[in-house]
A and B are shown apart, each in its own frame.
Chain A
């Protein structure tokens, strides 16, 4: 199943990225910019797909091209001749609210710590909350004997992350 998904993603990437790259190049961007914008568009697409919020009437390819254009405009919207983005963004092409929320340095450090010190926990939490996989699938992938034991472990991990957040907040208060 995961192998099929990886194959699908590779094919979608192979067939779509050159189209996106051409548009970005015509707008004045380079390969790195094209890649960054395309990856953001794919992240948005995959998140909406996982959350079953992908309500589109066009192909995945056309959708990704559209989202990349919107991301380009948003990135370089300082040009006052451009009309406000909100005028032509429909719900289907909306960018998640938190996509552009700046991530404070302290949050980055905490994230980095958790991704190394609590790697297995973070993988488990990502599988459930981000990838929205079922607990049955998670129990199998992470080798838990029962769904119940996987669920208990998930909440233990969540509790661990929560405590790190609380202690880092307390630390911030101490150091100002």
Chain B
């Protein structure tokens, strides 16, 4: 387990561009010869993408909640929008 977590941490440093140039070159060489590592890097990159998508979805939900709150409680906001979309 510990080994897997260390590997995930190491891959993160590579994907988040927190490696030194030397470490990056060594890591890229390891990827060329280690298929399992290459697959894990690819899957972890996909995981980052999924997290970004989830983050954006959550953010949009929060923004919808802000809109719903303003449109039901703020009369100035309501009136401004009603005047625009007559």
| Contact partners of A70 in chain B: CB under 8 A | none
**Is A122 a contact partner of B51 (Cβ separation < 8 A)?**
yes
A39 touches B63 (CB 8 A): yes
Q: Contact partner of B47 among A9, A10, A35, A162, CB < 8 A?
A: A162
CB-CB contacts below 8 Å: B28-68 with A: 39-40, 43-44, 46-60, 62-64, 66-67
Q: Give chain A interface residues in 1-22, CB to chain B under 8 Å.
A: 9-10, 13-14, 17-18, 21-22
Chain B residues with CB below 8 A from A158, complex form = 8, 12, 44, 47
A166 interfacial contact with B, CB 8 Å: yes
Q: From known contacts A21-B85, A165-B43, infer whether A14 and B52 are also in contact, taking CB-CB under 8 Å.
A: no
How many residue pairs bridge A and B at CB < 8 Å?
A: 104
Contacts A30-B85, A155-B9, A159-B8 given: A111-B80 contact, CB under 8 Å? no
Shortest beta-carbon distance from A150 to chain B in Å? 13
Which chain A residues numbered 135 to 176 have a C-beta less than 8 Å away from chain B?
Answer: 152, 155-156, 158-159, 161-163, 165-166, 169
Q: 1/0 per position for A24-41, CB-CB distance to B under 8 A?
A: 010000110001000100
Report, as a range, how many residues of chain A touch the other chain: 35 or more
Consensus secondary structure, chain B interface: helix
Is residue B20 contacting chain A, with contact meaning CB distance below 8 A? no
Complex contact A14–B77 (CB within 8 A): yes
> Distance in Å from the Cβ of B63 to the closest Cβ of chain A?
5
| A126-B81 contact, Cβ under 8 Å, with A13-B63, A155-B8 | no
Contact at A35–B54, with CB atoms within 8 Å?
Answer: no
Asked if B66 and A10 sit within 8 Å, CB to CB, the answer is: yes
B67 to chain A, nearest CB (A): 6
Q: How far is the CA of A28 from the CA of B80 in the complex (A)?
A: 17
List 15 A–B pairs whose Cβ atoms lie within 8 Å, in order of A's numbering. Answer: A9-B66, A17-B70, A21-B80, A31-B85, A43-B60, A111-B53, A115-B54, A122-B54, A126-B51, A129-B51, A129-B52, A130-B54, A131-B55, A162-B47, A163-B43
